[in-house]
Structure 1
Amino acid sequence: MTHLYSNEEILARAKMLAERLSSTEQVQFYKQAEAKISSNQKVQRLVDRIKHYQKESVNLQHFGKTEAYHQNEAVIDRLQKELESIPVVQEFKQSQEDVNDFLQLLVKLVSQQVFKKNQSTQSDN
């Protein structure tokens, strides 16, 4: 006989899993990289400038100022490249990819287990 879990039990187990995941090496490294980025003045200045130019681009595009829009987009591209060349940003991006890969693997494993469990309960019926 198969045990059916209540929503509360599932949520409690999911919360436990989330707590365990947050203490993994990958997630800890991501949190550290995020903290470094948040406290880096150069990174924050570049992010603020990019946001400013992005807002400006939206307005320029809205008013049909195509030449100014393209110039603005070129500035954004240059600022993005400068931002991405900073080692702490590269470290952060790598940690994001690592955590994402890790979470995708977990989702795949859980999905496979649910599918196997579902198949076995259907064959029992």
Structure 2
Amino acid sequence: MEKLYSKDEIIAKAREIAIMIANTEQVEFFKRAEEQINENQKIRENIASLKSLQKQAVNFQQYGKERALGIIEGKIEKIQGDIDEVPIVQEFKQSQGEVNDLLQLVSNTIANTVTDEIIKATDGDVRRGETGSYIKNTTYEKL
């Protein structure tokens, strides 16, 4: 019989994987890009303006000031566009996407492997995604 793992052992291994992910090229680039963004005075000013306008937008929305809300939303869109045009911001967003993709890949790999292991352990059919108990308890029509 194979070793059974405790929840604590699995969490410890998950933390180990998290540390590995935190020490990848993608995360290192992400951290450097964020640092450069935070050091950029113009970007910081635009972000501060953006936050202020977003608060105003919430207030206008709550009080039903549709015309004022439309004007503020236009200003928000322009500032967001100005921020997004900065090359380091584009690189930051790209690296953020790459880190998210890596996390999604790890998550999907774990989920798919758990499913496959369950199917194999029950003498099922991995290609069909059916466990052995499903196969034994299902009648197939012969062609």
CA distance in 1, matches of 2:6, 2:15: 14
1:63 and 2:67 correspond? no
CA distance in 2, matches of 1:116, 1:15: 23
TM-score normalised to structure 1 length = 0.92
TM-score normalised to structure 2 length = 0.81
Runs of 4+ off more than 4 Å: none
Counterpart position of 1:49? 49
Q: Once the two structures are superposed, what CA deviation does each residue of 1:25-68 show, in whole Å capped at 9, x if it has no partner?
A: 11111111122122222111111101100100111111121111
Alignment gaps of 5+ in structure 2? 124-131, 134-143
1:111 Cα deviation after fit: 1.6
CA distance in 1, matches of 2:39, 2:118: 47
Alignment length, in residue pairs? 125
Counterpart of 1:57, as a letter, is A
CA distance in 1, matches of 2:122, 2:36: 50
Counterpart of 2:75, as a letter, is V
CA distance in 1, matches of 2:40, 2:106: 32
Give SS of 2:103's match: helix
**Worse-superposed segment, 61-70 or 103-112:** 103-112
CA distance in 1, matches of 2:118, 2:31: 36
Structure with more of its chain in helix, by fraction: 1
Q: Once the two structures are superposed, what CA deviation does each residue of 1:64-113 show, in whole Å capped at 9, x if it has no partner?
A: 21111100110001000001001111110010111112222222222221
1:120 and 2:120 correspond? yes
- Percent identical residues: 39
Q: Which has the higher contact order (CA 8 A, sep 6+)?
A: 1
Q: In the alignment, is the contact (CA less than 8 A) between 1:2 and 1:121 conserved in 2?
A: no
1:23 and 2:23 correspond? yes
Over the aligned positions, Cα root-mean-square deviation in angstroms equals 1.5
Alignment gaps of 5+ in structure 1? none
